[in-house]
Amino acid sequence: MRSFQNLTDPPPVSYVAPNYYDQLMWHDYGVMEGLRQGGLLEAVCCLASYSGQDPPWVIMPPGGRVFKKVGSVGVMTTTPATETAVVSFQVPPGHNGVIVSHFNLVQAVSQLQEASGDLTWRIKQNRRYIPDYGNITTTLGSLQAPNMLYRGGFKLLPQQTITYTVTLSLAAQANLGAGNIICGLMGWFYPLT
């Protein structure tokens, strides 16, 4: 197969002429490229307001407040097949926040069989589960070494309620015996700008 040397060469057999939508895409590309070359794209980009600094959900800004919310419930005092709140808090008014690490564990007489379905942990923002954290069936992290959430963690908005819950299966109390289920959420709040 030969390559194009100039525009007078005939197109190869597999060449498909640009359609209407291709033309629109190239038009938009030209507009965006013109804005970029003129320096105007940075003026309308949302991250430009941080002036080359990391955004406040990646690095805690001045005026930020660290939080470490930890709670526990007893295995024998938790109603099986019922979602039980272990940790719950509300983001303060006038602040955003970010959760950068978490942990969940069980300290019981018997050893927990990981991913057995005896325990299911969930993290909720208001009434919806955080994606990928609505069905945790294994322990993650510890109080000394929490599970880190990379790429900015979970962003929180003012007055959102954050809840770390656990649900025991019907057989969990018999399998685990007496003990505690412990959860924690760590991060920071920062003032709205």
Please give the pLDDT value at position 140. Answer: 93
Between 176 and 1, whose confidence is greater? Answer: 176
Of 48, 76, 58, the C-alpha closest to 181 is 76
Encoded amino acid at 16, one letter: V
Between 81 and 34, the more confident residue is 81
Which residue has 């589960």 as its token pair? Answer: 129
Terminus-to-terminus CA distance in the chain, angstroms?
58
Supply the pLDDT for residue 8.
58
pLDDT of residue 112: 78
User: Whole-angstrom Cα distance, residue 125 to residue 109?
Assistant: 32
Closest of 58, 57, 63 to residue 156, by C-alpha = 57
Higher pLDDT, 151 or 167: 167
Min mean pLDDT across 1-5, 41-45, 130-134, 154-158 is at 1-5
Give the residue-averaged pLDDT of 99-125. 89
**Angle, CA of 64, 68 and 74, to the nearest 5°:** 160
What are the start and end residues of each CATH 2.60.120 domain in the chain? 65-191
Q: How confident is the model at residue 44 (pLDDT cuts 50, 70, 90)?
A: low
Whether domain 65-191 has CATH 2.60.120: yes
Contact 60, 156 (CB under 8 A): no
Q: Please say if the pLDDT value at position 152 is more than 90.
A: no
Q: What share of the chain is helix, strand, coil (3-state, %, to 5)?
A: 15, 35, 50
Res. 121: pLDDT tops 80: yes
Can you give the pLDDT at residue 117? 84
What pLDDT score does 4 carry? 47
Q: How confident is the model at residue 49 (pLDDT cuts 50, 70, 90)?
A: low
Mean per-residue pLDDT of the chain: 84
Q: Rg for the chain (alpha carbons), in Å?
A: 26
